[in-house]
Amino acid sequence: MRRCLFLAVMLCGGLSSSLFATGPAEAVVDSEQVLSELMAIPARQIPRKLLSEAQGIVIVPNVIKIGFVAGARRGHGIVMVRDADGEWSLPQFVALTGGSVGWQAGIQGTDVVLVFTTRKGVEGLMRGKFTIGVDAAATAGPVGREAAIGTDATLQSEIFSYSRSRGLFLGVALDGSMLEIDNESHAFYYGSQSGRVPGRIPAAAAELRRFMTELTPHHHTAPVGTELPLSDVMVSPKLIEGLRRSMIQSAGQLHASLNPEWRRYLALPNEFQQPGVIASPESLAKALQHYGSVNANPEYQKLAQNPDFQRTLESLIEYEKATQASSPTMILPPPPVTQ
């Protein structure tokens, strides 16, 4: 067993320079992308009620877990906490490390989001080092717009965890993993030590804090248990961009198993290849028609039940709703061509 642990450590050390090297600027940008994609789909998002009452949030993009009998994981991300007035802090930096022993093999990248529900948990983390499962237990978080969160469950669960895996790996529990405040990255990114006024505030950090505020509107005035209005969230350009990225990913995975004819039929609008560009109503309607026809036809049940097909269809539907809600003008086809 010692030999297996030694090999795992050596393997992780050998790959650390390529897999684990995430600078603070990349961590902030990647964390915003993870959050926007996670919150873009109502059926799979962190419930807005839970997020509105959260005391802190940790986002660690692309946690790498490597294992062969013995495993190890590592990732770099950010933490944001609320002050006494309920305002979100600028992102600070954390490193997640951990190990496990068991029958497991493979390499996996997983985006991890931890929602802290108590001041005690947040304060424990901000003191420097925090071990999941020791300082506080992490429970798999509820998902979906209508997910119910009982008062007892909220009080008993100091941390709710969410993850999105890019590969197949057995044993994804985070118990035993350690979160550690990365003061070196903080000083490099903000030009000042932790706890002091930043020497500079990069635009990406300010945008991420603004996005968190946008996702939790009126948290200081909403009665406990009140569901927050969807319209305030779904018009966000960041969430629309998150939907676009989600569709590109799920459609790409779907197309990998299709022949050229089906790839053409289930192609996404060309505008989806360009960040920040809204797809035209015509191209969006065509894609929705094609996916909807397949979904409704029993002959194509096998294809329609494919998880990547359903995720793409779901994203298309939400994208149409979001772009219509965020458009300040009427959605019209191009004007007639004049002779």
Length of the chain: 339
Which stretches of the chain are DSSP H helices? 2-19, 24-40, 48-53, 119-126, 151-156, 183-190, 203-215, 231-234, 237-255, 260-265, 281-296, 301-304, 307-326
Counted domains in the chain: 2
pLDDT grade, residue 68 (50/70/90)? low
Task: State residue 275's pLDDT score.
Answer: 83
Are residue 61 and residue 126 in the same domain, yes or no? yes
Task: State residue 17's pLDDT score.
Answer: 39
What mean pLDDT comes out for the span 147-164? 64
- Candidates 108, 107, 103; CA nearest to 69 is 103
Task: With respect to residue 226, please indicate whether it lies within any of the assigned structural domains.
Answer: no
Task: With respect to residue 227, please indicate whether it lies within any of the assigned structural domains.
Answer: no
Amino acid symbol at 30? D
Q: Which of 61-65, 81-85, 204-208 has the lowest mean pLDDT?
A: 61-65
> Which DSSP helix (H) or strand (E) runs through 172?
none
Question: Across all residues in the chain, what is the average pLDDT?
Answer: 78
Are residue 15 and residue 73 in the same domain, yes or no? yes
Provide the pairing of β-strand 138-140 with 159-165: parallel
Task: State residue 297's pLDDT score.
Answer: 94
Are residue 182 and residue 256 in the same domain, yes or no? no
Task: State residue 289's pLDDT score.
Answer: 95
Question: Which of 201, 224, 247 is a domain's end point?
Answer: 201
Question: Which of 147, 182, 201 is a domain's end point?
Answer: 201
Are residue 135 and residue 81 in the same domain, yes or no? yes
What range defines the domain where residue 74 resides? 2-201
What mean pLDDT comes out for the span 150-179? 63
> Which DSSP helix (H) or strand (E) runs through 107?
strand 92-116
Task: With respect to residue 287, please indicate whether it lies within any of the assigned structural domains.
Answer: yes
How many C-beta atoms surround the C-beta of residue 29 within 10 A? 17
Task: State residue 145's pLDDT score.
Answer: 60
Task: With respect to residue 206, please indicate whether it lies within any of the assigned structural domains.
Answer: no
Are residue 32 and residue 85 in the same domain, yes or no? yes
Task: With respect to residue 230, please indicate whether it lies within any of the assigned structural domains.
Answer: no
The SS3 of residue 71 is strand
Q: Is a pLDDT exceeding 70 seen at residue 287? A: yes
Are residue 137 and residue 189 in the same domain, yes or no? yes
Q: Indicate the burial class of 298 (C-beta count within 10 angstroms; 0-12, 13-18, 19 or more).
A: exposed
Are residue 322 and residue 244 in the same domain, yes or no? yes
- Candidates 212, 120, 134; CA nearest to 179 is 134
Q: Which of 54-58, 63-67, 176-180 has the lowest mean pLDDT?
A: 63-67
Question: Which of 144, 176, 201 is a domain's end point?
Answer: 201
Q: Is a pLDDT exceeding 70 seen at residue 148? A: no
State the greatest distance between any 2 C-alpha atoms of the chain, in Å, as a whole number: 81
> The pTM is what?
0.74
What mean pLDDT comes out for the span 173-202? 86
Q: Is a pLDDT exceeding 90 seen at residue 204? A: yes
Map tokens 């979001």 to a residue: 322
pLDDT grade, residue 11 (50/70/90)? very low
Are residue 106 and residue 242 in the same domain, yes or no? no
Q: To the nearest whole percent, how much of the chain has pLDDT over 70?
A: 73
